[in-house]
Amino acid sequence: MQIRVIFLADFDYFFAQCEELRNPSIKDKPVVVGVYSGRTEDSGAVSTSNYIARKYGVKSGLPLYLAKRKLEGTDAVFFPVDHEYYDQISERIMQLFHNYSDVVEQVSIDEAYLDVTAQVDSDFEKARGYAQKIKNNIKKQVGISLSIGIGPNKLVAKIACDIQKPDGLTIVKPDEAKNFLAPLPVTRLLGVGKKTSLRMEQLGINTISDLAKYDVQRLLELFGKVLGIYFHNAANAIDNDPVREQGEQESISKIGTLKQDTRDLSVILQKTDELTEIVYKEVSEKRLNFKQVSIYVVNVDLTSKSRSISLDQPAKDKETIKRNVKILFEKFLSESQLEIRRVGVRVAGFTKEEQQQKQLTSFFG
Ligand code: DGT
Ligand code: CA
Ligand code: CA
C-alpha cells in the first residue's frame, strides 16, 4: 500500500486573529472575541482569544466578566463574534488549499485535512517544505498564520498539529507515529471523553501506550466490537479513514452484526449504542448538525429494511440519536416477526454547526 501524507491545517487563534487582521494596531494587546448573550453588558463567554490574552488565563469558554477581571489593568480589547467576516476569510483560505491538494476536507471553520500524497511522492521531507510553502503563501495572500500537523493518517496529523501552536509545523513520520502517541493521555483520541477515560483509568489505562498494549480481546468485551477495535487501532496509530472532499458526504452510518440473531430490544440497543458512538464521533468531529435519524435492519432471511425519523429541529447530540434509534426499533419490532441479524445507525440531513451559530448571534445582534 502507498504511504499516505496527510496534513491537518488549523488556523491560529482564528476569530481573534481575524480581528487583528482588520485592526493591525491591536496586535500587541490582549484580544478577546466573545459571544455576548445580551442580558447584561458583560454576560456571555469567551469564544477565543489571542496568545497574549491566554497568558492571563483567558481562554475559550471563560465567562466574559471573569475575562475582564483577569485582564484588568491591561489595554485588552474585546470584540463580539462576527461570523460573516470569519466565514469570508475561512472560505478564501479553503479555496487556496485547493491549489495544493486535490482532496481538501474541511472539518470546521478553521480546520481542513489535505491529502498531499501525490504532490510530495509519499516523501515526508518533501512534505515539510510543501507545508512551509502553504503556510507562507496563506500568510502572504490572506494575512493569516496557521499551524500544520503532518502524519501518515488523519488521526496522527490532527494530534501532531496540536503539539506546536501558533505558527507550528509538526511532522510525524510513519515509523514514528506509534511512539509519538505513546506518552499522550488517552483523552487525546477522538471518542475518548470523560466517561470513557474514567473507565479506562479504572482498568489502569492512562496513556495511549497503555491502551495500545491492552489485550484486544478484553477491549472488545469491555467496549463492544466496534469501539474496541477503534480504540485498539487508534492507540496503535492506525487510521485508514480517507480524506474526503467537501460535500461528498450526505450521511454518516455504521452497521454491525449482532452476537446472535434476536428480537430482544435490549440486546439490539446495546449494539446500536456502540454504533452510535462511532457515528457520533464523526458527526462531532465535523461539527455537523443532522435532521434525520435512521435504522437499518438485516433479518435472518437476509431481507433488509430501513426506517427513518425526521427531527423537528437540527440536532447534534448523541442522546438524540440514541432516543430516536430506540423509538424506531420499538416500532419496527412491533411490525415484524423475524429475528434480526445485523443492525445499522445512520444520520443525515446535515447542516454545519457554524451556520447555526451565525443565526443565533445575528438574532442577538
Ligand atoms: P488555536 O487553534 O488554539 O490557536 O485557537 P483557536 O481560537 O483557533 O481555537 P480552535 O481551533 O479550537 O477554534 C476555532 C474557532 O472556533 C475559534 O477561533 C473560536 C471558535 N471557538 C472555539 N472554542 C469555542 C468555544 O468554546 N465557544 C465559542 N463560542 N467558540 C469557540
Ligand atoms: Ca485554530
Ligand atoms: Ca480548530
Q: Is 296 in the pocket of ligand 1 (CB under 6 A)?
A: no
**Which is nearest to 276 in space by CA: 214, 234, 319, 218?**
319
Q: Is the pLDDT of residue 135 over 60?
A: yes
DSSP state at residue 60? T
The CA 157 to ligand 2 mean position distance, Å, reads: 14
Q: What is the pLDDT of residues 321-346, one digit of tens each?
A: 999 999 999 999 999 999 999 999 99
**How far apart, in whole angstroms, are the C-alpha atoms of residue 286 and residue 306?**
25
**How far apart, in whole angstroms, are the C-alpha atoms of residue 104 and residue 128?**
18
The CA 15 to ligand 1 mean position distance, Å, reads: 7
Q: Is 15 in the pocket of ligand 1 (CB under 6 A)?
A: yes
User: Are 122 and 4 spatial neighbours (Cβ–Cβ below 8 Å)?
Assistant: yes
The CA 64 to ligand 2 mean position distance, Å, reads: 20
Provide the grid cell at 272: 446500536
Provide the grid cell at 151: 502524519
Q: Looking at ligand 1, which residue's alpha carbon is closest to its atom 10? A: 13
SS3 345: strand
**How far apart, in whole angstroms, are the C-alpha atoms of residue 296 and residue 285?**
23
Q: Is 48 in the pocket of ligand 1 (CB under 6 A)?
A: yes
Q: Looking at ligand 1, which residue's alpha carbon is closest to its atom 20? A: 47
Q: Is 13 in the pocket of ligand 1 (CB under 6 A)?
A: yes
Q: Is 19 in the pocket of ligand 1 (CB under 6 A)?
A: no
| Structural domains in the chain plus CATH codes | 6-12+85-179 (3.30.70.270), 14-82 (3.40.1170.60), 183-235 (1.10.150.20), 251-364 (3.30.1490.100)
DSSP state at residue 102? S
Is the overall model pTM greater than 0.85, yes or no?
A: no
Residues in a beta bridge with 74: none
Look at residue 1 in the predicted model and tell me its pLDDT. 75
Ligand 1, residue 165: give the atom nearest the CA: 4
User: Are 191 and 223 spatial neighbours (Cβ–Cβ below 8 Å)?
Assistant: no
Question: CA separation (Å) from 209 to 4, 160, 179, 189?
Answer: 23, 16, 8, 12
Least confident stretch, 55-59, 94-98, 217-221, 280-284: 280-284
Q: Which residues are catalytic?
A: 111
